[in-house]
Chain A
């Protein structure tokens, strides 16, 4: 890591530090119920981060990021039940999900499927997962010792200490694990987009033809960032099924797929912290909406999505950054002009 990259990553470290402070302060001041809720929100934030990486930086319009999230959760749960411990189950979840994403991505990117089709295909894969796993309710659908459970899902074994499989973590400890995972994933993603690999990905997003003419195989780079994004989503899935305690096929439904897109749209494509912030904000908005019955969740989220696409297409974080930059640039100019005006006046 050279000094230039360190300078580039200064905001990333700043937000990571804020996250660290939050990680150690929150359990002291917040109630256990809030902490358990927060764990779920953190898991979703990891999912949002993965989509922010591949859509915002890779330019890959993946509508089915939630498929990797859910697949990670299912693989973790099934392997944890079969292995009797969580450590290797987490590794399995990330590896299997990345392998699945790589296989799917091979067909998509090497078939040169364009971005709009890509969105539809990934969404379709998600919905097919949804309808497939819903049907697995009979006792004949099992992998090893784990029954798939159909509509009701499977209850997930909690994470245990790596060296002692009978020492399970309590919900308040899972919070620390989740927060640490979010920070690590965030710093990793922030580092990745500043490496040569990340820069080539951005170049491909901006102009695929030009990047190819410069000698980069855009298919390989897209496949790479897509696979990495799926791995991060799988980590989110592992945290999610730990926070909730079980995993059901509902994770694959259209509503959740849309939610992931909405976080990134609202937070802003091309930033990593924006979608994470938007996830927390919308998580608390939807929880608040769940408490009343006048406005339906779908209605509000649909309206938010339409309003953002039509009026704030860049999302919150880039709009704020643009605004701040514009002020910074214009401020000295205005002073200079005023001085100039005064000078003209005296002449």
Chain B
């Protein structure tokens, strides 16, 4: 029984981790049809913000939950104004420009902080015990906060004025703008919010992984697979994508080691795209958010 609970927790953590790193990307992709290749670098910037803020004496919880999303969100807005808004409707060019941005940010952070790891922050929660097994309290916290984050995004989209305008713009940008919605402002806010969520995710993961200028590359592949397998619905897509792929990854990791876990994840994603080219939510749950 304890073993089942421990494995279940581990599985839940893999899934939550996947959902956490993909959510920011899913928001930007689902709302704006912009594939942000600098997504990994937004996560990286979140991590660096936490390290810099805690070194400056800020409480780690404040640094993770408030400062990091704020800083990365502002960076996101600046990026949208300077770069992305010239390229709406040109998906390939956006892809290339954000890739350039990703290299630029890696280069910038390397020049400022150096190529090796900056001072890391320790996970602020100790271990908890499940019978004869022990699990990390911080992993449990990450699972909970991922759930909270998903619910928050759902509430924002479903019940606020901003969410309504954003959904309208997503469905038909021309119609929305003829009804007096400033779509350009909505895009700016959406991109900023997506960046802020990415920054928060990067900040939350920083104590687990440490921070490096190139750490974005380790996130980005998994985030893309999850979002594309999930399809264009932001929440349902992220949730189904991470449950399916994270679950497979977790199970195969348990059976045959982490290398096979990654292989299983990739093969599952490629097979899934052959069967459902528009992702899970392109076939099922079409009306969902």
Q: Does A323 contact B (CB under 8 A)?
A: no
B262–A124 contact, CB under 8 A? no
Residues 121-149 (chain A) with a chain B CB within 8 angstroms: 121, 123-125, 127-128, 130-132, 135-136
Give chain A residues whose Cβ lies under 8 Å from the Cβ of B228: 117, 120-121
A253 and B35 CA atoms in complex are apart in Å by 20
Q: Please report the C-alpha to C-alpha distance between residue A300 and residue B110 in the assembled complex, in whole angstroms.
A: 12
Please give, as numbers and ranges, the residues of chain A lying within 8 Å of B93 by CB-CB distance: 309, 313
Q: Is the interface of A mostly helix, strand, loop or mixed?
A: helix
How far is A305 from B218 in the complex, measured between Cα atoms in Å? 22
B273 adjacent to chain A (CB < 8 Å): yes
CA distance A108 to B270 in the complex (A): 8
Q: How far is the CB of A298 from chain B (nearest CB, A)?
A: 3
Cα A130 to Cα B266 with chains together (Å): 13
- Give the chain A neighbours of B110 by CB distance below 8 A: 296, 298-299
* B258 contact set on A, CB distance < 8 A: 135
Q: Does B13 contact A (CB under 8 A)?
A: no
**B227 CB, nearest partner CB in chain A, Å:** 9
Q: Is the CB of A300 within 8 A of B92?
A: no
Residue B91 at the A interface, CB < 8 A? yes
Minimum CB–CB distance for B230 against chain A, Å: 13
Instruction: Knowing A116-B92, A124-B221, A302-B106 are in contact, say whether A310-B277 is a contact too (CB < 8 A).
Output: no
B111 contacts the other chain (CB 8 A): yes
Tell me if A302 and B102 are in contact (CB < 8 A). Answer: yes
Contact: B259 with A107, CB < 8 Å? no
Closest approach, in angstroms, between the C-beta of A178 and any C-beta of chain B?
27
Question: Are B266 and A128 neighbours in the complex by a CB distance under 8 Å?
Answer: yes
B residues in contact with A117, CB < 8 Å: 228, 273, 277
**Contact assessment for A112 and B277 in the assembled complex, using a CB-CB cutoff below 8 Å:** yes
Q: How far is B108's CA from A301's CA once the two chains are assembled, in angstroms?
A: 12
Contact mask B267-289 → A, CB, 8 Å, 1/0? 00111011101000000000000
If A116-B91, A128-B221 touch, does A258 touch B99 (CB 8 Å cutoff)?
yes
**B95 interface residue per 8 A CB criterion:** yes
Q: Which residue of A lies closest to B224 (CB)?
A: A120
Chain A count of residues within 8 A CB distance of the other chain? 46
Contact B263–A132 (Cβ < 8 Å): yes
- Residue from B95, B106, B224, B269 within 8 A of A298 (CB atoms): B106
Q: Is A309 within 8 A of B107, CB to CB?
A: no
Q: Is the CB of B104 within 8 A of A306?
A: yes
CA distance A117 to B225 in the complex (A): 10
Which residues of the other chain, A, contact B61 by a CB distance below 8 angstroms?
none
State whether the Cβ of A233 lies closer than 8 Å to any Cβ in chain B.
Answer: no
Select one of B107, B262, B270, B275 contacting A302, CB under 8 A: B107
- Is A197 part of the binding interface, using a Cβ–Cβ cutoff of 8 Å? no
Q: Report B193 CB to chain A, min CB distance, Å.
A: 22
A253-B277 Cα distance, complex, nearest whole Å: 26
Cβ-based interface call for A88 (8 A): no
A121 in contact with B273 (CB, 8 Å): yes
Complex Cα–Cα for A305 and B216 (A)? 18
B116 to chain A, nearest CB (A): 14
Whole-angstrom CA separation of A110 from B228 in the bound complex: 17
**With A124-B225, A128-B266 given, is the CB distance from A254 to B273 under 8 Å?**
no
Q: Tell whether A125 pairs with B107 under 8 Å between CB atoms, given A110-B274, A113-B273.
A: no
Docked complex Cα distance between A28 and B13 (Å): 62
- Contact of A27 with B by CB under 8 A: no
Residue in A61, A115, A298 with the greatest tally of chain B CB atoms within 10 Å: A298
Residue B100 is within 8 A (CB to CB) of chain A in the complex: yes
Pair B263/A121 contact, Cβ less than 8 Å: no
**Structural contact, B266 and A124, CB atoms closer than 8 A:** yes
Q: Which residue of B lies closest to A253 (CB)?
A: B217
B259→A297 contact, CB < 8 A? no
Nearest-CB residue, chain A, relative to B275: A111
Is residue A53 contacting chain B, with contact meaning CB distance below 8 A?
no
Say yes or no: B103 contacts A310, CB within 8 Å: no
Residue positions of B touching A, CB distance < 8 A: 35, 83, 86-87, 91-93, 95-97, 99-108, 110-111, 214, 216-218, 220-221, 224-225, 228, 258-259, 262-263, 266, 269-271, 273-275, 277
Q: A116-B91, A302-B104, A306-B83 are in contact. List 9 more A-B contacts (CB 8 A).
A: A120-B228, A123-B221, A123-B224, A124-B266, A124-B269, A132-B263, A258-B99, A306-B97, A310-B83
A-B contact pairs, 11 of them (CB 8 A): A116-B35, A120-B95, A121-B273, A123-B221, A128-B266, A253-B217, A254-B217, A298-B107, A299-B111, A302-B104, A306-B83
Interchain residue pairs A-B with the least CB separation, the first 9: A299-B107, A302-B104, A302-B103, A305-B100, A298-B107, A306-B100, A127-B221, A296-B107, A111-B274
Could you list which residues of chain A lie within 8 angstroms of chain B, going by C-beta atoms? 61, 104, 107-108, 110-117, 119-121, 123-125, 127-128, 130-132, 135-136, 253-255, 258, 261, 265, 295-306, 309-310, 313
